[in-house]
């Protein structure tokens, strides 16, 4: 089938033409099983070598190729043509981060928010007697299972109208990453993280719009995670908030 791509272009290096504009590309012989990323490659390789995009693994793991495809944030490597209604594909950069060129945005503000929530394991207690791992029950592990899946692609954060309006809002992804440690019973810095997220530009900027949850290419229940962090701040505790009855972790054998 034939497909028309409408791509948001921007090149700051061309004098006089450094404003964003739309450009159309036509592709023939497109297979319904082709992924949007492959088709963007075809445009770049066959029609216009200046088309700039970011991708790395191309298999939905590295999180480099988040873009707004037909109005919704997706990973270009995870959208097949058959998932798209019709033969028109509109591609533009994710919103809320400065565009560097074409579909490539500056991720630094996003990673800045990520660093704010201390996304690393904190525990200064002595190592266990056997000198090996800090053990945890499957139920404790289940509490933050969902939020370990984040690949930092920024699809959720840049789908959020609160983030579009205010780039200082830490955004859904940083809260998901904080959730992963806040509800880890082995971690000892939940309080510090909750203090960061209780700031005016923390979780309270979330207006439960629910754009982030369907935007997540990993299926993380983002708005739920944000809601659980809000409850943890309200109640001043991290226990008894995450309901693990819907999460199934295999018992170790």
DSSP helix/strand/coil, 171: helix
Residue 175 as a binder of another protein (CB under 8 A): the answer is no
Q: Is the separation of the CB atoms in 239 and 137 below 8 Å? A: no
Contacts of 196 (CB under 8 A, 6+ apart): 116, 117, 118, 170, 178, 202
Q: Using CB under 8 A, which of 15, 16, 71, 131 touches another protein?
A: 71
Closest distance of CB 73 from another protein, Å: 8
Between CA 220 and CA 212 the distance in angstroms is 9
Q: Between 21 and 60, how does the x/- string for binding to another protein read (CB under 8 A)?
A: ----------------------------------------
Using only the alpha carbons of the chain, give its radius of gyration.
Answer: 21
Q: Using CB under 8 A, which of 133, 207, 240, 251 touches another protein?
A: 207
Q: Is the separation of the CB atoms in 73 and 155 below 8 Å? A: yes
- Is the backbone of residue 155 left (phi > 0), alpha (psi -120 to 50) or beta? alpha
Contacts of 133 (CB under 8 A, 6+ apart): none
Residue 7 as a binder of another protein (CB under 8 A): the answer is no
State which residue, 127 or 209, has the beta carbon closest to another protein: 209
Residue 223 as a binder of another protein (CB under 8 A): the answer is yes
Closest distance of CB 129 from another protein, Å: 37
Q: Is the separation of the CB atoms in 63 and 54 below 8 Å? A: no
Which 121-160 residues touch another protein, going by CB under 8 A?
159
Q: Is the separation of the CB atoms in 41 and 183 below 8 Å? A: no
Which 176-205 residues touch another protein, going by CB under 8 A?
195, 198-202, 204-205
Closest distance of CB 57 from another protein, Å: 26
State which residue, 56 or 234, has the beta carbon closest to another protein: 234
Listed ranges 32-40, 41-49, 115-123, 229-237: which one lies at the site for another protein (CB under 8 A): 229-237
Q: Using CB under 8 A, which of 164, 185, 186, 192 touches another protein?
A: 164
Closest of 91, 71, 38, 73 to residue 153, by C-alpha = 73
State which residue, 42 or 153, has the beta carbon closest to another protein: 153
Q: Is the separation of the CB atoms in 171 and 117 below 8 Å? A: no
Q: Using CB under 8 A, which of 21, 165, 237, 239 touches another protein?
A: 165
Q: Is the separation of the CB atoms in 166 and 201 below 8 Å? A: yes
Q: Interface with another protein by CB under 8 A: which residues? A: 68, 70-72, 95, 159, 161-162, 164-169, 195, 198-202, 204-205, 207-211, 213-214, 221, 223-228, 230-231, 233-234, 243, 246
């Amino acid at each position: 089938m034939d497909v028309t791509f409408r791509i948001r272009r921007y090149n700051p290096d061309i004098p006089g033409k450094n404003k964003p504009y739309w450009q159309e590309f036509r592709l023939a012989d497109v297979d319904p099983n082709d992924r949007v990323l492959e088709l963007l490659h075809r445009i770049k390789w066959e029609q216009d070598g200046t088309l700039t995009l970011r991708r790395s693994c191309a298999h939905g793991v590295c999180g480099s190729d988040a873009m707004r495809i037909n109005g919704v944030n997706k990973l270009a490597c995870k959208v097949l043509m058959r998932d798209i209604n019709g033969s028109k594909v509109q591609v533009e950069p994710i919103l809320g981060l400065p565009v560097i060129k074409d579909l490539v945005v500056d991720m630094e503000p996003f990673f800045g928010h990520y660093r704010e929530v201390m996304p690393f394991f904190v525990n200064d207690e002595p190592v266990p007697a056997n000198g090996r791992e800090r053990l945890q029950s499957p139920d404790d592990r289940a509490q933050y299972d969902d939020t370990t899946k984040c690949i930092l692609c920024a699809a959720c954060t840049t789908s959020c109208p609160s983030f579009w309006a205010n780039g200082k809002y830490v955004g859904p992804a940083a809260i998901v990453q904080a959730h992963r440690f806040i509800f880890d019973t082995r971690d000892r810095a939940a309080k510090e993280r909750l203090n960061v997220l209780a700031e005016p530009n923390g979780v309270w900027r979330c207006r439960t719009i629910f754009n982030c949850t369907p935007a997540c290419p990993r299926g993380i229940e983002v708005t739920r995670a944000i809601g659980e962090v809000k409850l943890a701040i309200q109640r001043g505790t991290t226990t008894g908030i995450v309901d693990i009855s819907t999460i199934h972790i295999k018992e170790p054998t």
